[in-house]
Structure 1
Amino acid sequence: MGNSCKKSQNPKIPDDVNDGLETLEEYRSRWRSVRVIYFTMFLMSLGFSIILTGIWPYLNKLDPKAGKEFMGLIVAANPLGQMIFSPLFGWWSNRIGSIRLPLLCSLALFTFASGLYSSLEMRPDHVKYWMLISRFLIGVSSANIAVCRSYLSAATRLSERTKAVSMVSLAQVLGFIVGPGLQTAVTPLGNDGYSFLRGSIVFNMYTACGWINVLMSIGNFIMFLPGLFEEHKIAAREIMIKQGKSSERETWKAIKPDYVSAWTLIVAFFVLVFNFVLLETLGTSLTMDQFAWSNHEALYYMGILMSVGAIVALATFVAINPLCKVFPEHYVLIWGGFSLMVLGRVLYIPWGDGPP
């Protein structure tokens, strides 16, 4: 009886994926690497969202003459850098057959750019352009998202992929939740905050978020070092066995991509991100104009509003996996995603002739 209990408690590969493709240790190592990817996606989302509500008051403090038009350029710099360099990071990763070096370089750049953003309190000449550069570099570093998603597809089996993609999306949403929440949490530091190293480092309600990014990215960098992160690309081997091919290269050559579906999803993702960035970027300056909020109030209340919205999105992502087991995935995308987004935008349209 005792022996049977011990046997039942011995760890083993789940039965649904226990087909001899990998050992228990390889299975564990593979999922450790996937969880590191989750954290990386969380950090990249955090790096984008953590300063969204603070860009306008921070810029207005550093350079009151910059204007909202230039703020739009600063916000656009991040996705522009990501758009330009995502294909390059993907090509680089494919070229060397590994994601480690591209991710280490991108995280090092993310650390530098976040530190640069938080060092703008030193008031260098043309400070608004330095802010623009820092946000562009953060966008360049965020191009590693393409590499992360690619690895996620390669490191998961077909039966695991929907769950893994949902979890990585959940990690991104958590980044959008934690970011504004952290901005709200550091608001009590005020405009002046604390100075260290004879004023070289200023820790206030605008710069604290950047320094938090620096610390977290250093931790993320360490996670990808040799000995801690090991790549496991099991998807090709799984397909190779199912199709009876003799090599992974032969397997990939036999696969014919569905370009129509791929581009449809790319455009859909563009629409989603466009809507998110547009509304969240204008939110702080819009509420300051409409409600006469101070910088402190705008950061505090917008952080709360964005966090509440992200919590709703979090619940939605948690529901994706069970919903996709009941309904076809494209129905979930259309009726559970885009239809609600369209309805939300319709409700933004002013109704009637009275003031809001």
Structure 2
Amino acid sequence: MGGDTTETEDKTPDGSSGQSFTDPAEPMLPTPSETTAWKSIYMAGACSFIQATQFAIFFASMWPYILTLKPDVKQGSFGVVVALYSVSQCICSVGFGWWSNRIGQVRLPLIVGFLIMACGNLTYLSLQYWPSHHLYVMMAARFIAGGGTGNMSLLRAYASTASTMKDRSRAIACVSGGIAMGTMIGPGLQLLFAPLGADGINVLGLAISIYSSPALFCLILNGLGLLIVKFAFEEKYIIKHENDVKHDEENGEKTAKKLGNPDFIAILLCVFTRFLQIFLNTTTESIGSAYLMMMFSYEKEEAVTVNAGIHTVSGSIAATMFICFIFTKIREYVKIRTFTLISLIMPLTWLIATYPYNFYSGSVKIMVNGSHADCDLNKYSWCADQKTINQYVYIIGYILVFGVAFTFMNITVTTLFSKVVGPRPQGTYQGIYQTAGSFGRMFAPIIMSYTYTLYGPSVPWLILIVSFIFLILAWIVLRERMVPFGEYEPSKIDHSN
């Protein structure tokens, strides 16, 4: 560059010679590209959809399944089962990112990840054969499967480095949209297995029931993912060279322009934003049904129906927005920092509007006659003074937050994070970003369920309100730093021979 047109040797993301790209003996190595690799990015979106679907499909049936196998199991033990998935994902996402950067590709780690997921699903399918260890085998199954999904961060990283700066937000939206739609559709797929019932059918000694069939279905998804990666995923990269050599005509010195480190503060803010987003999302998932039953006097079945309806509406809105963002030019009008701020203000507004202030006149009803609706004063002493809120404000606000605000957040923050990291291999950085979400998914059920049990919804809401106020102020104060790599401060230049 800089007038030197004789250099023809391309570099892979790990800096190796580009000559190996055409070596038929090494078909899994990535290839360079000057344009966005849309085909492989769409395939990455399909893989992210498969991973998110296999994560979400189990939640409707796991608790009834373990109760069937081990009737004396307690909710606390089941909470460990749920948490272990995220623990494993946290550990493995950084490991997958490091490995991907080390070997200069994402394809092999993706294949290994799908194989690990398949092992986890096989373990889950074998639960029926462990009569004395059902709970521990389920823990092992979810831990193994969670480790396999640690490579999900590589899909975001690939979308970042396989797209031009102009196409970056659209490319990342393909992967984020796959995750969002998989999470939305996954629980609904459980309905496909309802006709099997609890007893199911016996095939070669294997009982395939409403509880075990999701694992079998996920094995099929794992196989589909492997086929996509093996035969349809052509790994290509658009990435800036680490060294740009120029000739100084006055003194003959050569100056190597090296990429400096990305802005740590900007990265930290993006990571904390992701943590708080997943923290809020997991909080509503953890106490959502119990909250509806306590606050609005819903019976169990009614609470499940309302909750499912809310998620269906918000999920449909999110899917529509992702599709519009990916396939129309509406993305050109999305200003990343502005829409990020709006997407943070919306949940704060919802939390403030649904806080049960003491000056409200209405109080929750106390549970009587063995009903599961209303507030159980025998369990929670705060029921006596708990104020009610408007259920329409809660439901409409919920749909706007998780259908609109979080969709924008998934697009804008993820896109900005990749731009802040800059034109370099992003596997490790995206692993850290995903780990932040996994930490949010781990800590939210523990912290918020504990505070909800002791103090009711007021304290969990206060924790979230204070956190979002702090986060919004940080985005306002640090606005000038939340820009693509190299725009806040110039890249470091190493003057050497």
Give the shorter-chain TM-score range.
0.7 to 0.9
- The answer to whether the 8 Å contact 2:36/2:162 transfers is no
Residue 196 and residue 101 in structure 1: after superposition, are their counterparts in 2 closer, same or farther (change >3 A)?
same
- The answer to whether the 8 Å contact 1:47/1:138 transfers is no
Aligned to 1:43: 50
Asked if 1:151 corresponds to 2:155, the answer is: no
Structure 2 Cα separation of the partners of residues 175 and 210 of structure 1: 16
- The answer to whether the 8 Å contact 2:164/2:238 transfers is yes
Asked if 1:256 corresponds to 2:261, the answer is: yes
- The one-letter code matched in structure 1 to 2:46 is F
1:210 paired residue among 208, 212, 215? 215
Q: How far has the Cα of 1:70 moved from its partner?
A: 1.2
Aligned to 1:309: 314
Q: What aligned pairs does 1:259-270 form with structure 2 within 5 A after superposition?
A: 259-270=264-275
Task: Out of 84-93 and 188-197, give the one that drifted further.
Answer: 188-197
Structure 1 Cα separation of the partners of residues 221 and 67 of structure 2: 27
**Deviation digits for residues 72-124 of structure 1, max 9, x if unmatched?**
11111111111111111111011111112211111001111122223323344
Q: What aligned pairs does 1:175-190 form with structure 2 within 5 A after superposition?
A: 175-190=182-197
Asked if 1:233 corresponds to 2:244, the answer is: no
Structure 2 Cα separation of the partners of residues 284 and 194 of structure 1: 32
Q: How far has the Cα of 1:46 moved from its partner?
A: 0.9
Residue 277 and residue 73 in structure 1: after superposition, are their counterparts in 2 closer, same or farther (change >3 A)?
same
Structure 2 Cα separation of the partners of residues 204 and 341 of structure 1: 39
Residue 303 and residue 218 in structure 1: after superposition, are their counterparts in 2 closer, same or farther (change >3 A)?
farther
**Deviation digits for residues 325-346 of structure 1, max 9, x if unmatched?**
33521221121x2222234444
Structure 2 Cα separation of the partners of residues 73 and 333 of structure 1: 33
- The answer to whether the 8 Å contact 1:176/1:307 transfers is no
Q: How far has the Cα of 1:195 moved from its partner?
A: 2.0
Aligned to 1:21: none
**Deviation digits for residues 11-58 of structure 1, max 9, x if unmatched?**
xxxxxxxxxxxxxx9689932221221111111211221112222222
- The one-letter code matched in structure 2 to 1:56 is W
Aligned to 1:172: 179
Aligned to 1:112: 119
- The answer to whether the 8 Å contact 1:29/1:230 transfers is no
Aligned to 2:225: 220
Structure 2 Cα separation of the partners of residues 122 and 154 of structure 1: 45
Asked if 1:61 corresponds to 2:68, the answer is: yes
Structure 2 Cα separation of the partners of residues 95 and 101 of structure 1: 12
2:133 paired residue among 126, 131, 144? 126
Residue 88 and residue 76 in structure 1: after superposition, are their counterparts in 2 closer, same or farther (change >3 A)?
same
Aligned to 1:339: 345
Residue 132 of structure 2: SS of its match in structure 1?
coil
- What count of residue pairs does the alignment treat as equivalent? 319
Residue 43 and residue 340 in structure 1: after superposition, are their counterparts in 2 closer, same or farther (change >3 A)?
same
Q: How far has the Cα of 1:178 moved from its partner?
A: 1.3
Residue 339 and residue 62 in structure 1: after superposition, are their counterparts in 2 closer, same or farther (change >3 A)?
farther
Residue 303 and residue 122 in structure 1: after superposition, are their counterparts in 2 closer, same or farther (change >3 A)?
farther
Asked if 1:80 corresponds to 2:87, the answer is: yes
**Deviation digits for residues 293-346 of structure 1, max 9, x if unmatched?**
47xx988776555333322322343465766533521221121x2222234444
- Give TM-score scaled by structure 2 length: 0.57
Structure 2 Cα separation of the partners of residues 173 and 59 of structure 1: 27
- The answer to whether the 8 Å contact 1:153/1:235 transfers is no
Residue 157 of structure 1: SS of its match in structure 2?
coil
- The one-letter code matched in structure 1 to 2:364 is G
Aligned to 1:161: 168
- The one-letter code matched in structure 1 to 2:200 is G
Q: How much is the aligned-residue C-alpha RMSD, in angstroms? A: 3.2
Structure 2 Cα separation of the partners of residues 353 and 86 of structure 1: 45
- The answer to whether the 8 Å contact 2:170/2:331 transfers is no
Structure 1 Cα separation of the partners of residues 305 and 142 of structure 2: 22
- Give TM-score scaled by structure 1 length: 0.78
Structure 2 Cα separation of the partners of residues 311 and 84 of structure 1: 32
Aligned to 2:453: none
Q: What aligned pairs does 1:244-323 form with structure 2 within 5 A after superposition?
A: 253-283=258-288, 293=300, 305-318=310-323
- The answer to whether the 8 Å contact 2:41/2:174 transfers is no
Task: Out of 165-174 and 115-124, give the one that drifted further.
Answer: 115-124
Task: Out of 61-70 and 309-318, give the one that drifted further.
Answer: 309-318
Q: How far has the Cα of 1:159 moved from its partner?
A: 0.7
Aligned to 1:31: 38
Q: Which structure 1 segments of 5+ residues have no match? A: 1-24
Q: Which structure 2 segments of 5+ residues have no match? A: 1-31, 248-255, 366-373, 375-497
Aligned to 1:353: 363
- The one-letter code matched in structure 2 to 1:341 is P
Residue 73 and residue 309 in structure 1: after superposition, are their counterparts in 2 closer, same or farther (change >3 A)?
farther
